[in-house]
Amino acid sequence: QVQLVESGGGLVQAGGSLRLSCVASGGSFRNYLMAWFRQAPGKEREFVSAISWGGGSTEYADSVKGRFTISRDNAKNTMYLQMNSLKPEDTALYYCAASTRGMSRDVLAYRYWGQGTQVTVSS
């Protein structure tokens, strides 16, 4: 069973950047499809981005495409989300998640979740 811990969130002005990290332990990181989701107050958790086991395949929500970049370093058991040109609507609690299934944007496809890191973008 893998444990996930996110970090890197914070308060940033619109147009700024943040890099989120997700460190995995307790499992074989390279065996997991990894993803970022986010949840704003009063809204459902939504898909942000996902990356395949080896990092060769990625997917992005339309709302972040061209602004966010997902990556992973299997030697460090770590996944990243570089977020540029941040907007107030990006404000949310950001979660990393792991799955042993194929690429998916469905919350239900992910078995393991971190506790989340807060990202707040001021206008």
Interval 83-108: pLDDT, tens? 999 999 999 999 999 999 989 999 99
Tell whether the model's pLDDT for residue 77 goes beyond 90: yes
Beta strands at 117-122 and 10-13: parallel, antiparallel or unpaired: parallel
- Mean pLDDT confidence for 108-123: 97
Choice between 67 and 27, residue whose per-residue pLDDT is larger:
67
Percent over 70 (pLDDT), the chain: 100
| Amino acid 27: pLDDT | 81
Across the chain, mean pLDDT equals: 96
- Residues in CB range of 48: below 8 A, 6 or more apart: 35, 36, 37, 38, 60, 61, 64, 68, 81, 94
Buried b (16+ CB within 10 A) or exposed e, 84-115: eebeeebbbbbbbbbbeeeebeebebbebbbe
Mean pLDDT in residue range 55-74? 97
Q: Is residue 34 very low, low, confident or very high in pLDDT (cuts 50, 70, 90)? A: very high
Average pLDDT of span 41-65:
96
